[in-house]
Amino acid sequence: MNTKATFLLLAALSSGIAMGEENAVATAQVRKVALFKNGYNWVEMSATLPDAQRVQITGMPEALLGTVRWDAASGVRQLEGSSVEVESSVEDYAYADLLMANAGKQVKIFLKGERQVEGKLLPPAKREKPKGSFPEPEGDQTSDAPKIFFVQTANGVQSVATEDVTSVSFAEAPQLPMKKVVSNIVTAQLEKPNPGVELRFGYVSAGMSWLPEYGLELGEGGTAKLTCRANIINELADMRDVEIRLMSGFPALGEAMVDSPLNRAMKLKDFLKRLGFLTEERNASVRRGVYTAQACPMPCVAESDDFEDDEGSEGSKQVEDLFYYTLPHFNCERDKSILCDLFSCEIPYNHAYTCHVPNQSMLERLSRNGEPVADVWHCVRLSNTSKQAWSTGIVTCTVGGQIAARSTLYFAAPGEETLLRLNKSMQAGVQCSEELVKREERNAPGRRRDSVTVSTFRGTVTLKNSSDRPMELRLTKEVNGLVTEAGKEGKINVSPSYSGNPRSVITWKFTVQPGEEAELTYTYEYEND
């Protein structure tokens, strides 16, 4: 069921539905929300209990399976979930729905071709299913309104096709189309009446999310100003003076597709079907080797365990492997978004360059004589000297007020560094060449053949700096084969292969002065098939 349709039950209460009349009512208000960047959130609410042993809690939304928790000190023994059908107006209705809702009234219908029909709108004929017909599928959202209506005019009965209607006018105020909506009702059963006590409860739900937006101004002297704004999307509820915590990290949300059984819109067979579907998906993920362990996410907010109040503090806090920022007095209506300042700080930076040279099979397809074989990217290395963790997000980089790049700033905890790619350098190019040094037969015990042919290659990577500043470069080179030498500056990483040549990666870190050229050499062995 849609979260919007079930979050507030005030409409059901004003209609005087049965359960609302039998029980005392307590309206819950949102107190705190911890937002994850994947659209889920931990919500804390509170409601003042009336003088009753059974209390209907309004404002209780759809919670995820296994995440509803409440303060035991309130005296609540259990929560009961039920549902009721209530009439609700249709927001986006068609002319056919409007005509069906106003059968028997005087109407003037304007049609295409400047035609019009005026008279009494006749009730549509009841449609009966033929015997032996198949039942309609569950959740069918098609309109029950007919496509043709009949109007009793002064000259007789005239038919009107709804597809030809351009506008409608009634002699009296029309009845708006209505539909039946299933609303959830949550009732708290107390050990004894506990009037005036705050019932506090929490749960994981969907409906709010956030993402950061950064601005980075690169100044002179190796100092930059970093500003962060939070984009908060609210489809959960009206927020009035709520403490918002913006979480950064990768929480494991177990069974995130299953609502709590307190939401009685999901019947038992659908609930079990959903659990079975997740089990099947999980087993398939295990076979594919991509399943990560799932856990209840509630410990992410430490204060939630005892529902204690705490003051929002400057900087980001860390809870296990998650970081969060606090907005202590947040206001936002449902179905709106807010862009607000989060923090600003001055940080040191230095220019850096990166280049990745592909393996020989890729070079053979991509390289052309005289042209560079790989791009050199101009980057800046940012040091997080602030007390704020930087969450991954889009960053707009400027120099002297002019835009220089639109890139991605990756997560960095306080004290860490991150590399921000700006743009491709047009003043540097990398060339790569290889030559066969020797070829020999070697014994291969335990292999399909008694011997294998091994070719030894020597390669050269050349970079020229045509800019007016030194280039601090990190260059990586992929090789299909076993690298045996890469100079004293080169670091070699070999990934073994059980079906052919291993994959080797060489990493060099060096600085090239303006106008100079750097030459790096490497040697590798390649087994021929």
Q: What pLDDT score does 369 carry?
A: 64
pLDDT of residue 169: 92
The candidate with the shortest Cα–Cα distance to 484, out of 517, 519, 525, 455, is: 525
**Confidence band of 132 (pLDDT split at 50, 70, 90):** low
Q: Between 262 and 224, where is the model more confident?
A: 224
Identify which has the larger pLDDT, 388 or 130.
388
In the sheet that holds 428-443, the strands lie side by side as 428-443, 451-465, 517-528, 482-485
Could you give the percent of the chain with pLDDT greater than 90? 43
Q: Is the pLDDT of residue 11 over 50?
A: no
Task: Select 95-125+144-175's CATH number: 3.30.505.10, 2.30.30.100, 1.10.3470.10, 3.40.50.300.
Answer: 2.30.30.100
* pLDDT number for residue 129: 57
367 pLDDT more than 70? no
Question: Which fold is adopted by the domain 429-528?
Answer: Immunoglobulin-like (2.60.40)
DSSP letter (8 states) at residue 4: H
Q: What is the DSSP letter of 259?
A: B
**For position 295, what pLDDT does the model report?**
29
pLDDT band at residue 319 under the 50/70/90 scheme: low
- Decide: 81 and 264 in contact? Cβ < 8 Å: yes
Other CB atoms within 10 Å distance of the CB of residue 526: 18
Whole-angstrom distance, CA of residue 209 vs CA of residue 232: 6
Calculate mean pLDDT across residues 265-289: 58
SS3 assignment, position 443: strand
Question: Facing residues of 278 across strands?
Answer: none
Residue 141: is its pLDDT beyond 70? no
What is residue 390's DSSP assignment?
B
Distance CA 64, CA 40 (A): 10
Kindly give the pairing relationship between strand 148-153 and strand 156-161: antiparallel
Band (pLDDT 50/70/90 cuts) for residue 311 is very low
Q: How far apart are CA 70 and CA 76, in angstroms?
A: 8
Over range 480-504, report the average pLDDT.
89
Whether 411 shows a pLDDT value over 80: the answer reads: yes
Q: What pLDDT does residue 402 have?
A: 93
> Residues 156-201: pLDDT tens digits?
999 999 899 999 999 999 988 888 777 778 888 899 999 999 999 9
Residue 317 pLDDT: 62
Q: In 3-state terms, what secondary structure has residue 368?
A: coil
Q: For residue 374, give the DSSP letter.
A: B
What phi and psi values does residue 92 have, to the nearest 5 degrees? -115, 90
Q: What is the pLDDT of residues 517-528, one digit of tens each?
A: 999 999 999 988
Closest CA to 176 of 246, 230, 100, 229: 100
* Cα–Cα distance for residue pair 478/456, rounded to 1 Å: 16
Asked if residue 304 lies in contact with residue 313, where contact means CB atoms within 8 angstroms, the answer is no
- Mean pLDDT throughout 445-465? 85
Q: Is the pLDDT score of 15 beyond 50?
A: no
Distance CA 241, CA 249 (A): 25
Higher pLDDT, 121 or 368: 121
- Measured distance CA(310)–CA(44) in Å, rounded: 13
pLDDT higher than threshold 80 for residue 151: yes
Distance CA 107, CA 99 (A): 9
Report d(CA 148, CA 151) in Å as an integer. 10
Identify the burial level of 103 via C-beta atoms within 10 angstroms of its C-beta, where 0-12 means exposed, 13-18 middle and 19 or more buried: middle
Measured distance CA(459)–CA(457) in Å, rounded: 6
Locate CATH 2.60.40 in the chain: 429-528
Identify the pLDDT of residue 207: 84
Per residue in 337-347, pLDDT tens? 999 999 999 99
Task: Report whether pLDDT(18) > 80.
Answer: no
Radius of gyration of the chain from its Cα atoms, rounded to whole angstroms: 34
Ramachandran class of 169: left when φ > 0, alpha when ψ lies in -120 to 50, beta otherwise = beta
CA–CA separation, 125 and 128 (whole Å): 9
Residue 64 has pLDDT above 80, yes or no: no
How far, in Å, CA of 83 to CA of 19, rounded?
Answer: 9
Output the CA–CA distances (angstroms, integers) from residue 325 to 39, 332, 391, in the order listed.
16, 17, 10
> Has residue 431 got a pLDDT over 50?
yes
- Collapsed DSSP state (helix, strand, coil) of residue 414: coil
Task: State which of 249-258, 362-371, 467-476 shows the largest mean pLDDT.
Answer: 467-476
Q: For 268-272, 350-354, 360-364, which range has the lowest pLDDT when averaged over its residues? A: 268-272
pLDDT (average), residues 391-397: 93
For 73, phi then psi, to 5°, come to -70, -15
Banded pLDDT at 7 (limits 50, 70, 90) = very low
pLDDT band of 514, cuts 50, 70, 90: very high
Sign of CA dihedral 308, 312, 313, 314: positive
Contacts of 17 (CB under 8 A, 6+ apart): 84, 86
Q: Give the pairing type, strands 376-383 and 336-357.
A: antiparallel
Q: Residue 518: its pLDDT value, please?
A: 92
Give me the pLDDT at residue 378, please: 93
3 secondary structure, DSSP code: H
Tens digits of per-residue pLDDT, 69-78? 888 888 888 8
pLDDT of residue 285: 45
Task: Please tell me the least confidently modeled range out of 253-262, 472-481, 501-510.
Answer: 253-262
How would you classify the pairing of strands 517-528 and 156-161?
Answer: unpaired
Helices (H), 347-430: 360-366
Q: What is the pLDDT of residue 263?
A: 72
DSSP string, 491-519: EEEEE--SSS--EEEEEEEEEE-TT-EEE
Lowest-pLDDT range, 118-122, 142-146, 147-151? Answer: 142-146
